[in-house]
Amino acid sequence: MLRLACSTVLLFVLRLLLALPWAQVLPAVLIFFLGTGGWNSLRVFMKTIGRDLHAAVVLLKVKLNVNRHLRQRNTIPKIFAETLQKYGDKTALIFEGTGEHWTFRQLDEYSNRVANLLLQHGFREGDVVALFMENRLQYVGLWLGMAKIGIEAALINFNLRLEALVHCVNISNAKAVVFGSELTDAMCEVHSSVGKSVKLFCSGDWDPKRVPQGTECLEPLLQATPTHKPSQPQRGFTDRLFYIYTSGTTGMPKAAIVVHSRYYRMAALVYYGFRMRSEDVLYDCLPLYHSAGNIVGVGQCLIHGMTVVIKKKFSASRFWEDCIKYNCTIVQYIGEICRYLLNQPVRDVEQRHRVRMALGNGLRQSIWEEFMQRFNIPQIAEFYGATECNCSLGNFDNKTGACGFNSRILPFIYPIRLVRVDEETMELIRGPDGVCIPCGPGEPGQLVGRIIQNDPLRRFDGYVNQAATSKKISQSVFKKGDSAYLSGDVLVMDEFGYMYFRDRTGDTFRWKGENVSTTEVEGTLSRLLDMKDVVVYGVEVPGAEGKAGMAAIADPDHTTDLGKFSRELEKALPPYARPVFLRFLPEVDKTGTFKFQKTELRRDGFDPTVVSDKLYFLDCTKGCYVELDAELHRSISSGKQKL
Ligand SMILES: *[C@@H]1O[C@H](CO)[C@@H](O)[C@H](O)[C@H]1NC(C)=O
Ligand SMILES: *[C@@H]1O[C@H](CO)[C@@H](O)[C@H](O)[C@H]1NC(C)=O
Ligand SMILES: *[C@@H]1O[C@H](CO)[C@@H](O)[C@H](O)[C@H]1NC(C)=O
Ligand SMILES: *[C@@H]1O[C@H](CO)[C@@H](O)[C@H](O)[C@H]1NC(C)=O
Ligand SMILES: *[C@@H]1O[C@H](CO)[C@@H](O)[C@H](O)[C@H]1NC(C)=O
């Protein structure tokens, strides 16, 4: 067995060596040695060669698998069928909430019913159906069933309401919406705006009197549908699987296209890179409308036969009990989850679990070690990679604080790079030849990934909206005339090539684990406030993760009714997007192009001793805005006041 593994690895390395462009490699190695200086470069070489070889093997393995799937015109449902063959009666998914267990066979049957039902209702390959529901096992069964007949699911954030919800359904061109009964009210509010031709299905316990007219109840229909395998569509590995919405840097959420190969690649890179095993049990408490929960998490079940525990919603107090109950060995996180867990009182259950790895992104360096030690977690598997971006990184070797690395010895094997950027505007800084300037160790820069459209591993599939796609792509980044994907994130690399996060800048900020698009919030607030000028930005609050939202509102005549505003805000925006602070001023500065000047506002923050304008604070216990005075400011800054 071991011999076999060794020879496979050797074969990979051999293939890798043969695949290398040696005319490029030798000068690069030489430059590296001369450039970093004798002994030091030897030190770097010795420290990183093992890590780099592992990564090279992983990349090669995933590449070979992708090539095979391409050749065989496989899709995620077909790969799932292979998994089903192997693991049939093993538990595939568990729902922590009701305790439901589904074996691979049950998941297969449920998704077959979904496929057959949609076919009966006249849906065809290439149609889009929106999925708007909270986490549950059916969520996976629904999109998998759609994929079986080539129907593309649009996975909609269940926190969205009103305009943003209508927008997401609308841009997806969905022919139907399947919504969870828990979201009946949200669906009723937008029913008249989403179009008469859109069919509605409700999943879960529903009340026929409350749902929008014409809604059909899904479960009885599914019960009456046969479980046989539906006929195969003409889909291949590079066709669309589903859409995930990202709050990009401007405006409303954008639908990012996820093709089958991308789904596979994201799940497989994580699986091989972090040396996971199919016997692992993964605890997934992240929302399934994002790639972390649905691809990195659920993908391990569909592709690698792992048991995945799906939690309805993250709960800090139940987290470790759940892990113990299901013998979880891997947990998923986002940075905020780690902080909420650390804020819990110490209990002995938090050490009694069998979790060997925490997998996720956004764990801050400041709490990294405390998190590992307190909860007795041997390995942090931090990775970086937006749904739509191909410049993924992974911290494969448990390096404290890093979100990944790139080889220092042969950096061009993996075509990503940090390039110099104006951190305020995120504009790329170019040399005299018009090409971007790569960063050295210790120099912060924007992460970019080269685009090679004919390589499925390196494709950028873009957004549904072409204009949104072109904003994320720039020319002449690595060399003259090429094109590259701009991640929008600033990272910094150390001498060994490990990469570390710098805080986000630009037009979104993170709050409570979500990206808040300032433009989107500005639009909504302005509408609620009779089209007053509103500027939204994030401000730092000592001790809080991310940035708290703050809105500067131009109100020269003091006509704002704060009580009414708070009530309407609750309906219009999800909790994380509601501004924590308000600042009323006579007018807001604009640039010549009517862009708001945010830099000064951001610097002023929410300190009443600095700002002479009226300030308000959203007191979440009272559900309304209260005046922000020096005492309240102290209480917020010291962490006493809950945000
Ligand atoms: C939905 O999109 C169509 C065009 O695709 C547009 O005409 C319509 O106004 C949009 N509806 C809403 C509510 O945005
Ligand atoms: C967890 O592991 C223990 C011991 O190996 C076993 O007895 C128990 O049944 C497992 N629980 C689950 C939910 O698999
Ligand atoms: C990961 O790093 C931590 C501290 O740096 C160490 O205690 C732990 O043993 C390491 N885990 C593994 C699996 O090597
Ligand atoms: C937020 O934006 C960053 C950078 O664009 C991206 O990596 C991340 O996945 C986004 N998160 C969500 C929840 O949309
Ligand atoms: C990112 O995607 C582009 C788009 O085709 C590709 O050329 C580039 O190589 C990818 N980068 C990585 C690191 O996969």
The DSSP annotation for 241-295 comes to EEEEEE--SSSS-EEEEEEHHHHHHHHHHHHHHTT--TT-EEEE-S-TTSHIIII
Residue 328 and residue 492: Cα distance in Å, rounded? 33
Q: Please tell me the number of the ligand nearest to residue 378's CA.
A: 3
Substitution candidate for ligand 5 out of 448, 460, 483, 486 with most atoms within 8 A of CB: 460
What distance in Å separates the CA atoms of residue 187 and residue 204, rounded to the nearest whole number?
14
pLDDT, tens only, 293-311: 999 999 999 999 999 999 9
Q: Which residues pair with 91 in a beta bridge?
A: 103
Residue 158 in contact with residue 184, Cβ under 8 Å?
no
More confident residue, 157 or 526: 157
CA-to-CA distance for 572 and 375, rounded, in angstroms?
Answer: 38
453 neighbors 485 (Cβ within 8 angstroms)? no
Between residues 287 and 387, the one the model is more confident about: 287
CA–CA dist 591, 558 (Å, integer):
24
Q: Is the pLDDT of residue 230 over 80?
A: yes
Bridge partners, residue 593, by sequence: none
The tens digit of pLDDT for each residue in 80-105 reads 999 999 999 999 999 998 899 999 99
Q: Which pLDDT value is given to residue 593?
A: 35
Whole-number pLDDT of residue 250: 46
> What is the DSSP secondary-structure string of 574-619?
-GGGS-SEEEEES---B-TTS-B--HHHHHHTT-TTT--SEEEEEE
Split at pLDDT 50, 70, 90, the class of 8 is low
- pLDDT 10s digits, 547-596: 999 999 988 888 889 999 999 998 888 889 999 999 999 887 654 334 45
DSSP 438: B
Residue 148 has pLDDT above 70, yes or no: yes
Q: How confident is the model at residue 380 (pLDDT cuts 50, 70, 90)?
A: very high
Residue 335 CA to residue 315 CA, distance in Å, equals 14
d(CA 136, CA 96): 9
Task: Pick the ligand that lies closest to the CA of residue 261.
Answer: 5
Percent of the chain with pLDDT over 70: 87
Taking the C-alpha atoms of residue 597 and residue 620, their distance in angstroms, rounded to an integer, is 28
- Does the CB atom of residue 101 touch ligand 2 within 6 A? no
Rounded Cα–Cα distance for residues 240 and 242 (Å): 6
Give the Cα separation of 362 and 182 in Å (integer): 30
Ligand 1, CB cutoff 6 Å, lining residues = 166, 170, 193
Residue 434's nearest CA partner among 473, 480, 485 is 480
Q: Is the dihedral of CA 585, 589, 593, 595 positive or negative?
A: negative
Q: What pLDDT does 591 receive?
A: 45
Query: Is the minimum distance from the CB of 400 to ligand 3 under 6 angstroms?
Result: yes
Pocket test for ligand 5, best of 238, 266, 387, 390 (most atoms within 8 A of CB): 390
Position 406 scores a pLDDT of 93
pLDDT in tens, 22-58: 666 666 766 666 665 667 788 888 899 999 999 999 9
Helices 562-572 & 518-528 angle (0-180, nearest 10): 130
Minimum CA distance residue for ligand 1 atom 3: 170
Q: Are 467 and 77 in contact (CB under 8 A)?
A: no
What's the pLDDT score for residue 345? 87
Res. 642 pLDDT band, cuts 50 70 90: confident
Confidence of residue 504 (pLDDT cuts 50, 70, 90): very low
Cα(72) to centroid(ligand 4), Å: 33
* CA angle, 591 then 593 then 595, to 5°: 60
Q: Is the pLDDT of residue 249 over 50?
A: no
* CA of 97 relative to ligand 2 center, distance in Å: 19
